[in-house]
Amino acid sequence: MNLAAETDLKAPWLDAIKWNEDGLVPVITQDYLSGRVLTHAWLNKEALALAQQEGRAVYWSRSRAKLWRKGEESGFIQKLHATYLDCDGDTVCFMVEQIGGIACHTGRESCFYRKLEDEQWHNVDPVLKDPKAIYAK
Amino acid sequence: MNLAAETDLKAPWLDAIKWNEDGLVPVITQDYLSGRVLTHAWLNKEALALAQQEGRAVYWSRSRAKLWRKGEESGFIQKLHATYLDCDGDTVCFMVEQIGGIACHTGRESCFYRKLEDEQWHNVDPVLKDPKAIYAK
């Protein structure tokens, strides 16, 4: 976090968003070429301002209660191509270039790899890289 | 709501989902052909079970606190082609055929019609049909 981003937190485009009671909004992240939905995550003002400033997806991790620069451990960052807001002003959509072609911590292209068929969830996408290799120090 | 759907609420595939403290999960709805993200909404168990049963998008309206069969007023229903679950089991993705080509109550194809450019939100999609005509009784 730096001074520039702190200043930006008062910008009108950020105030146009209806942040929830926790100061967050959901964000859908989509591959800008294939249209594949990669992830569903959350933003606070700081994360969204930093994402614009740095040109990459930055989220708010609810479980870790901290900023999450996507790819900071795996290297699979998401270059930000465009940012959209919905009619209600309470959901954001990021169009990104997924570096490495892997968005999911399971080593798959997308987090949405389970498909409902015959009342069961089926893993329909291959693991492209072993997570142990992705997250090895 | 009917008996068949009530029975289905105890199905293992529904229990596999991590419903939040309000018994809801977010759902991303995407056009099954173009990949365009159309809406972001919410599901409870009943809505998701009914969507599968009826082959169309059914949501839980948080503002109205009731089931919302998408298109019940506008006629612009969403035919359900596939249902996906993410790695954490807390977000669903619907792949749909958007009847009428209009998902947004503003008369646009998608709810995500505002694009961020130069720190301003710009309406980048045309209104395809006047909402007054869509919702006229």
Q: Would you list the domain boundaries of chain A?
A: 3-101
CB contact set of A101 (below 8 Å; sequence gap of 6+): A109, A128
Tokens representing A10 are: 């008062």
* A96-135 pLDDT tens trace: 999 999 999 999 999 999 999 999 999 999 999 999 999 8
- To the question of domain B3-103 being in CATH 3.90.550.10, the answer is no
* B99-120 pLDDT tens trace: 999 999 999 999 999 999 999 9
Residue A127 forms contact with B (CB below 8 Å): no
pTM of the model: 0.95
Min Cα–Cα distance to chain A from B41, Å: 9
Residues of chain A with pLDDT under 70: 1-7, 137
- Inter-chain touch A116–B82, beta carbons under 8 Å: yes
Please check the confidence at residue B137 and state whether its pLDDT lies above 70.
no
Tokens representing B133 are: 């005509």
CATH architecture for residues A3-101:
Roll (3.10)
Percent of chain B with pLDDT over 90: 91
Partner residue facing A40 (CB), from B11, B12, B91: B91
Mean pLDDT across B18-42: 97
Give phi and psi for B57, each to the nearest 5: -70, 125
